[in-house]
Amino acid sequence: MDNILQSLAAIVGEQYVSNRQEELYLYARDQGTMDPHPPDYVVLPGTVEEVREIVLLAGREGIPLVPMGGGLVLSGLTIPLRGGIVLDMKRMNKIIEVNPVSRYAVVEAGVAQGQLQSYLERHHPRLRHSIPDAPPMATVGGNVAIHGSGHLSQAYGFHSDMVNGLEVVLPSGEICHTGSCSASPYWFARSPLPDLTGLFLGWFGTTGIITKVALKLYPKKKMKDVLMFVTENPDYVPDVIYRVTETEMAEDVLVLSAPKPDWMAGFQITSVALTADSQLEMDFKRKMMRQALAGYIDDREGGFMFLAPNLKKNFLETPQRSVARYADVNKGGGFEYVGAIMPVEKFPQAYRSGVEIAGKCGTTYSFIVRIIGRAHCMMFAFAYPFNRADKEDVQRAQKALHETNAAVLDMGGIPWKAEVPAQRMIIEKMDPSARQLIGRVKAMLDPRGIMNPGNWEV
């Protein structure tokens, strides 16, 4: 054990490696319901060469290796289930290049979402990237590794769809580039090559360590507004979404529903973010949105809600800090959700099923739905906050999560960034040839099975 510690120290320097109990304690757990398990070492590499040396060492010694960004995934995917090394990527936080004409940024995988956001605001105020509502320390690498989504996803899809290419350290220690940068100095697209990038997106670090990401950037409009459309019947929501997305004018479309605060209880609130470069453009977009939903207003089945300025301010924020505040509504720092990726028409069924499960399990809940693509699918988050110090509360949340995962799969949805028990449920449901292909790809890339073991095991 001492040899490994010394070898790691020789690679990154003594101050960036630890096997001290107080640090292992922190890296053993996250905010979700998965049981903790400590790593044997924590290491913070500063360069791709250091990552490569660590990967080679882990491979030689057969030590599990778990990459970690912000550690905010909530579903236990950075908990080292079999011990070994946690590779904390936060020191790899350089913004390498912004191409303002072809609109992409090349960043190291440990760059935080908030860091990239403020860098662009300062140096390229007409450009932005799609930001998740996660706390700003979530990393770009960690987010694309789980197919995240954010405030531009309604227009442009999952964050993994916005990746032009990657630099990855393979479990063999080779440094590999995917996308145009594998054959060009420019990181402009994944096409027209065979798409190797997909071998590392959605795999939870089981196929390699992402060290650089080329991310698409988008024009940034000068003003932002948000409209809130309220209905009381979940059966209307798929049509509301259809009408809103049909205008192709909304930027981010969320549907919120929760029993608390009182003003939200019993309603489905569709929040539509609009952006514009002039008041004229904004007025036009607002008018189009009102026109799209006028039928509901005429029939007295729905209406736009007035938002007091202090409340509106919350909904205009990117990321929305109210989401993080809600995560701790029970106090005690526990929060996890089933983020089900599903067809939009499943909203009413998912809504009713979530209310029923929360009632049965006696948990607090909220539903936050993000429309992805022009209503091509949605991420339906069934969120259950809990108090980590209260065992019974944790068990209630665990039960609710388990039942929700099962209900989602029954409805034809797929749990996103699924915790290990839910991964097993997905794998069981999977077409056997797809399951075997996953096994073959993993065995080819990681024959010793050291990369984030326990995850996506077929």
Ligand X SMILES: Cc1cc2nc3c(=O)[nH]c(=O)nc-3n(C[C@H](O)[C@H](O)[C@H](O)COP(=O)(O)OP(=O)(O)OC[C@H]3O[C@@H](n4cnc5c(N)ncnc54)[C@H](O)[C@@H]3O)c2cc1C
Positions that interact with ligand X (CB under 6 A): 66-74, 77-78, 89, 109, 132-135, 138-139, 141-143, 145-146, 148-150, 204-205, 209-210, 323-324, 327, 452
Minimum CB–partner distance for residue 288 and ligand X (Å): 26
* Element holding 4 (H helix, E strand): helix 2-12
CA dihedral 400, 405, 411, 412 (to 10 degrees): 170
* Residue whose CB is less far from ligand X, 143 or 353: 143
Residue nearest to ligand X (CB): 142
Minimum CB–partner distance for residue 455 and ligand X (Å): 7
* Residue whose CB is less far from ligand X, 134 or 162: 134
Minimum CB–partner distance for residue 372 and ligand X (Å): 10
Minimum CB–partner distance for residue 385 and ligand X (Å): 10
Residue type, 411: M
* Residue whose CB is less far from ligand X, 66 or 371: 66
Angle between helices 347-361 and 237-246 (to 10 degrees): 130
- DSSP of 172-223: TS-EEEEEGGGTSS----STTS---GGGSSSSTTSS-EEEEEEEE-EE--SE
Minimum CB–partner distance for residue 44 and ligand X (Å): 12
* Residue whose CB is less far from ligand X, 108 or 393: 108
For residue 215, give the nearest of 111, 121, 370, 310 by alpha carbon.
111
For residue 257, give the nearest of 185, 141, 116, 355 by alpha carbon.
355
Minimum CB–partner distance for residue 295 and ligand X (Å): 30
For residue 342, give the nearest of 307, 306, 377 by alpha carbon.
377
Phi, psi of 110, deg, nearest 5: -90, 5
* Element holding 315 (H helix, E strand): helix 309-316
Q: Give me the residues paired with residue 372 across strands.
A: 377
Minimum CB–partner distance for residue 198 and ligand X (Å): 14
